[in-house]
Every structure is written in C-alpha cells, then in structure tokens.
Structure 1
Amino acid sequence: MNARIILLLAFFVSNGASADVSSAREALSQQEGDATQEKSLEEVFEATENSYSLMKKGQTSLGFNMSYSYVADQRLDVNIVNGQVTAFDVNPSASHNLSNNFNFDYGYKNNLTLGLTLPLVVKYDSFESQSASGLGDVSINARWQPYAYVPGELSKTVTGSFKTKTGSSPFHTVGDKTLPTGSGYYSLTGGMSLSKVVDPVMLFGSGSLTYAIPEKDINQPRGGARLMEVKPGLSMSFSGGFAYSLSYDVSMSMSFQGSYSDKSTYVFSSSEVESSATVSGLFNISLGVRVSPKTITNIGVGFGMTDDAPDVILSLSLPIDVNGLKAKSSASSS
C-alpha cells in the first residue's frame, strides 16, 4: 500500500481506474483508485478528527456536527441562622445542552487550511426551569502543516483558533434569570496534533493551550454586590486515540480527552473571589458509516470520567455537499 496516497484523500472516494480488458491478470489486480483498508481508515479518521486533516489549495468543504450533553447533579439548599441549620434540602438537577455546529473550511494553501465554525446552541435547566437558544461563540480556525509528510513518520499539524463572544454572555444578564449561550469573553488557542498510520490503525494525539482575554467593565449585580471584571484562568487540553478500519464501509475510533482549567478571578466592587481549578476527562467512541460513495457519517458517544465532565455526550457529524462549494480541478494544484 502506498502511504503517500493517504494524505491526498479527504472525504473523497475515486470511481476506480479503468482496467485493461486485454489482460486478465491486470484486470484482477488492485487498481490505483480501488477501495483499500487504508483509504477507508483515513477517510473516517478525517471525518472524525478535522484538526488532523488538511485540504488542497482552493478546495472548500461544509460540515455539520451536532452534539448533546447531559449533566446530572444534586444541589444543597442550606439555611443557617446563628450557627444553626434551620432548613436543609437536596434538589436533583439536570442540565441539557444541544449544540449544532456548521464548519466551513477553505484550503488557502496545500499546507494551510482556514476555517469558520458557526454554533447554534439550545440549553435547558430542569432545576431552574430555564431555557435558552441562539447563536453561540463563533470561532475562526487555522491548521498549518510546517513540514511535508514522510511515509512512516509522524504527521505534524499546528492548530490555532480565535473564539469570539457572539453568544449571549453570562456576565451581562440580570442575576440568574436567563441561561447564556456563550462564554462571555474572547479567547485564543494554540496547539499541535500528531498522527501516524500503523496499518490497519491510525494513531492520533493532540495538545493545546487556551488563553482567555479578561472581560472588563461588566457592572453586573450579584447578590448585593456588583461584578466588575472576570479574569478566566489558563486552560490546557490533550487528547489521544486511534481509528480502526473494520471494512470499506464501517470504521471505529476510540479516544480520550482531558482538560485542566486554572482558577478564575472575579473582581467585585469591594472584593475579589477565586474559583477552584477544574479537571475534566472524557472517553469517546465513534462509529463511521459510509452512507454514499462520497459521504461518511460519524455517530459518537462519550462518557464523563471526572466530576467536572458531562455525564453523557452524544454526537453526530457529516459533510454537507453544496453545489458550487467544490473547487475546479485546476485549483487543486499549487
């Protein structure tokens, strides 16, 4: 198998090269465009992990990803007067979050892909009987491959993103009357991803660091005081796993995602308060199914492994074929 062919395929399956009918031996041999286990593996891998694949110059793609997360918890209501507990109650809580992301990618160069993510968010809190829906935080993304791929070696990709605060902010609402659809601040993320083919398995991993720009001039009333500024802490994340080709039409990937967020500082009109650091861990399983010669749909499920992680995450992703988005054949050459 030619490992170089792997890097040139992204959500694309050729119709197969024509066989020479004058030679039975050649007709029975595998042609360059025929389906192989490595091709199927790479296609599903790229469909599952967009941060590891690059597009050729001039190419465009539009994808859709939907994820649902559920967080169950118990909240304690305690009323203490003069050091004595006068009321105590345990209330179950459940938070439902549905995110619909539209991802647009453009191959600016053969080794540089630019992207835009547009999220539409729906939230519901059963404890407070609150709901919210609307635009989330739009992000601008970039993936850059500094070195050409060498067969048998690691493929290295530098990633970066800038997340806006287009969603409704939790710091500009009045108390807890509404649910936010965004984080409320800008943030910058940089990292690197690695991948390697060990037939019939694709190994991958990544790491990133996120810096959130402090949000000032908030002036939000909170419990008799006014919140003036928020200084989010640095956060780090990493992930790793593998994708395995079960057949030409079905593949599977498994991965672990972990993150650490440092303490955040909340500046009030008369004092400062620090939140505790959080650690999150998720285990994900994804199944890729080819629903057409050019389309792979991924269905995934994730399980939280720490207290700060969602209990369950369900996801669905698929490319969207829109007329006019595909580049002309001549544009693919650099």
Structure 2
Amino acid sequence: MNRWVMRVFILFSVTGLLPTMALSQEGNVDEAREALARQEGDEDSAKQLEEVFQAAENNYSLQKKGTHALNYSFNYTYMGDQRLDAEIRDGSIRQLDITPTATHNFTNSFSYDYGLLDNLTVGARFPLVVKYDTQDELSLYDVGDVSATARWQPFPYVPGKMSTTLFGSFSSKTGVSPYEIDIDEQLSSGSGYYGISGGVSLSKVLDPVVIFGSASLSYNFDATDLDQVRGGRRLVEVSPGFGLSGSGGFAYSLSYDISLSISGQISYNDETVLTFADDSQAVAQDQMTGFLNMSLGTRLSDTTIVNTSLGIGLTEDAPDFSLGVSMPIEFSGLKE
C-alpha cells in the first residue's frame, strides 16, 4: 500500500473525532434548587459534546487557497434522567415519586470552508435542530446557534514531524434561547448567549498510526435584559463563565479504505450565576464531563470519506450516548 496515501486517508478520517461542563444559593437553598433545576429547554453539556461529531475534516489538511468545501453531518444524542417529586412538610416526606425522563436531540449541520491562504481556512456552520422530550411530550424544530471558524497552520507539514493547527470560533445566539421561553411549555435549540473559543490541535504520523490531541479555551458572554419566570422569580441576567476542553486519541489504518479512531474528551465548565429581579442570585457549581468516542472512516472514492461515530458518556452530566455521521457534499459550483 502507498504509505503517503494511507497517511492522508487517516488524517482526513481522524479529524471527525476532535472537538472544535450540588447547587448553592446565597440566600434560600430550596429556591436555588428549584430555580436551577435542569429544565427540558435548557442547554447543557450535550451542546458542547455535540462538537465531537462535527465534520471538521480539514483540521490538519487545510483548504488550498481559493478552494471551497461543503460538509454535512448528522448527530443524535440521548440523555436519560430521573425526576424526584417530593413534598416535605414538618420535616417529613409526604409524597415521593420518581419519574423517568428522556431527551432526544437530532442535529443536521452544514459546514462551509474556504481557503483564504494555503495555510489559512475560514468557515461557517449552520445547524438545524430537532428535539423531543418524552415526559412532557414537547418537541422543537428550529435553527441552532450559527458559528464562524478560522484555522491556521503556522508551519508547513513535514513528514515525521508534529503538525500544528491553531483554531478559533465565534458562536452566535441564533437558536431559541433557554432563557427566553416558557420552560414548562417549550424547548430550546441554542445556548442563549454569544461565545468565543480558541485552541490548538496537534497530530503526528507513526505509520500506520496517527496520534492526535486538541485543547481549547472558551468564554461565554453574559446574557442580559432577560425576563423569564424561573423558580418563582424573574430571571434578568445569566453569567455562564468560561470552559476548558481537551481530547486525545489515535487512529489506525485497517486497510486502504478503512480506518478506526478512538479518542477521549474531558470538559470543564465554570460556575454559572443567575441574577434575579430582586437582586438575589443562584449559583450552579462548576462541572466536569467526560466522553469516549469511536469512529470508523470509510473511503467511498479518492475524494470522499464517510465517518460514522459512536460516543459514550463517562460522567453523569454527559449524554448517555451519541451517534453521528459526516460526509463531504460535492457539486460543480464549488469546484475551481
């Protein structure tokens, strides 16, 4: 087998796995628990972990200057939970009921990349979100948070050396905000705030294996001028803080047409502060989430590789599991 062809195949397949977080109340503890209890419409770590399955096939092989690329990815995540309904009166429990819940998330994403320079690629991602909550029988069909990205390779790739790619992104709040809906009747498709992130991706070819890793830092801007009733109070501001994420793994070429990738991801989210109209605050403590990812890259032609992915949550706040598929979309209008 041609080793150079195998290297390129693994590099294009493996990048589908790299990603581009006890409550306390300063006043009343019971009110804080009610206010910060995870609602059906809230964005949680599933949004961040969804990035694991986005089709970013060009992290290590950027677009040549003046060329285009369009990719499609589909991702399904499942998160199961249990709600505990209890009435406490005079220090004793009067009523207790445990109700299982499940949230199904389907995301169709279209990603466009354009090569400004041979070592600089810019792009955008447009997600379409479908959600369904089994307990309350709520559903949602809407646009998610549109984002813009940039990737830069400061040094040309040299066989046998480490390849480095710097990346950054800006996320809008075009999706339905979890802080601007009736949380008892509606679901959300977005985070509800703007965010920026940046980081570095590294990879090295060790025939027939490619090892890779990624680290990123994100900052989410405050959401202000809100007017949502939550926990019996009017929510006016949310401060989501920052996040850290890291991943690493390897890919192995099973043949000229098949490669297998395995990686792990860990994410940290800083505490989130909710401010209410009466100047009281509730604080959600920081969170750690972990995810194990497996991907199979299949070559359909010299220019088309399809990645199918399976993810398994390793922590309580992560989705139970996730399934994904990504592929390039080719048509003459994007060819130079």
What's the CA shift for 1:37?
A: 2.6
| Paired amino acid for 1:220 | Q
Aligned position for 1:158: 166
Match of 1:93 among 87, 91, 101: 101
What's the CA shift for 1:157?
A: 0.7
The Cα offsets for residues 120-170 of structure 1, whole Å up to 9 and x where unpaired, read as 001111122111111000000000111222332211111100000000001
Aligned position for 1:230: 238
Aligned position for 2:68: 60
| Paired amino acid for 1:177 | E
Match of 2:289 among 280, 288, 311: 280
What's the CA shift for 1:75?
A: 1.0
Query: Is residue 77–residue 90 contact of structure 1 (8 Å, CA) maintained in 2?
Result: yes
Query: Is residue 281–residue 305 contact of structure 1 (8 Å, CA) maintained in 2?
Result: yes
When residues 293 and 272 of structure 1 are mapped into structure 2, their CA distance, relative to the original with a 3 A threshold, is same
Aligned position for 1:113: 121
What's the CA shift for 1:263?
A: 0.5
Query: Is residue 47–residue 318 contact of structure 1 (8 Å, CA) maintained in 2?
Result: no
Aligned position for 1:73: 81
Aligned position for 1:213: 221
Residue 124, structure 1, aligned to residue 132, structure 2 = yes
* Separation in structure 1 between the aligned mates of residue 300 and residue 306 of structure 2, nearest angstrom: 7
Aligned position for 1:251: 259
* Separation in structure 2 between the aligned mates of residue 288 and residue 95 of structure 1, nearest angstrom: 28
Aligned position for 1:40: 9
* Separation in structure 1 between the aligned mates of residue 124 and residue 6 of structure 2, nearest angstrom: 31
* Separation in structure 2 between the aligned mates of residue 39 and residue 218 of structure 1, nearest angstrom: 49
Query: Is residue 115–residue 141 contact of structure 1 (8 Å, CA) maintained in 2?
Result: yes
Secondary structure in 1 aligned to 2:300? strand
Structure 2: gaps of 5 or more residues:
19-55
Aligned position for 1:289: 298
| Paired amino acid for 1:286 | S
Secondary structure in 1 aligned to 2:331? coil
Secondary structure in 2 aligned to 1:56? coil
Identity value in percent: 48
User: Is 96-105 or 125-134 further displaced after alignment?
Assistant: 125-134
* Separation in structure 2 between the aligned mates of residue 145 and residue 43 of structure 1, nearest angstrom: 16
Secondary structure in 2 aligned to 1:53? coil
What's the CA shift for 1:289?
A: 1.1
| Paired amino acid for 2:329 | I
* Separation in structure 2 between the aligned mates of residue 124 and residue 103 of structure 1, nearest angstrom: 24
Aligned position for 2:22: none
Query: Is residue 48–residue 298 contact of structure 1 (8 Å, CA) maintained in 2?
Result: no
* Separation in structure 2 between the aligned mates of residue 250 and residue 222 of structure 1, nearest angstrom: 50
Query: Is residue 164–residue 203 contact of structure 2 (8 Å, CA) maintained in 1?
Result: yes
* Separation in structure 1 between the aligned mates of residue 214 and residue 180 of structure 2, nearest angstrom: 34
User: Is 112-121 or 151-160 further displaced after alignment?
Assistant: 151-160
Secondary structure in 2 aligned to 1:39? helix
- Which structure's CA Rg is the greater one? 1
Query: Is residue 118–residue 139 contact of structure 1 (8 Å, CA) maintained in 2?
Result: yes
TM value normalised by structure 2: 0.85
| Paired amino acid for 1:41 | I
TM value normalised by structure 1: 0.85
RMSD (CA atoms): 1.6
Query: Is residue 93–residue 125 contact of structure 1 (8 Å, CA) maintained in 2?
Result: yes
What's the CA shift for 1:46?
A: 4.6
What's the CA shift for 1:2?
A: 9.6
Match of 1:316 among 303, 317, 325: 325
| Paired amino acid for 1:296 | I
Matches within 5 A, 1:10-49: 36-46=5-15
Match of 1:199 among 207, 224, 235: 207
